Amino acid sequence: MKNKALKFLNPILLLLFLVTMVAMVLYKIGPGSETLGDIHQFAGILFAIVGLIHLYYNWGWVRSNILKKKKR
């Protein structure tokens, strides 16, 4: 179940990241249309939500590799 969810979430996370970044760049270099600002904001919110879900599914890996106690 977890692997299936991640196979679905990872491409969506990448797509939302790209949409957020492209909308921001176009907003900054272009005339600054409201629509691009709205797209950037909406995609950013979705990116944060999907990112948190991604972190939830990978929490075991984070705990064992990043939060592990160092031996002295």
pLDDT at 11 over 90: yes
pLDDT value of residue 72: 59
Does residue 71 register a pLDDT over 70?
Answer: no
Q: Find how far residue 57's CA is from the centre of its chain.
A: 14
Contact between residue 43 and residue 23 where contact means Cβ atoms under 8 Å apart: yes
Burial 30-46 (b: 16+ CB within 10 A, else e): eeeeeebeebbeebbeb
Please indicate whether residue 20 or residue 71 has the higher confidence score (pLDDT).
20
- Give backbone dihedrals phi and psi of 63, rounded to 5 degrees, phi first: -65, -40
For the cut 80, the answer to whether the pLDDT of residue 20 exceeds it is yes
Residue 54: pLDDT band (50, 70, 90) is very high
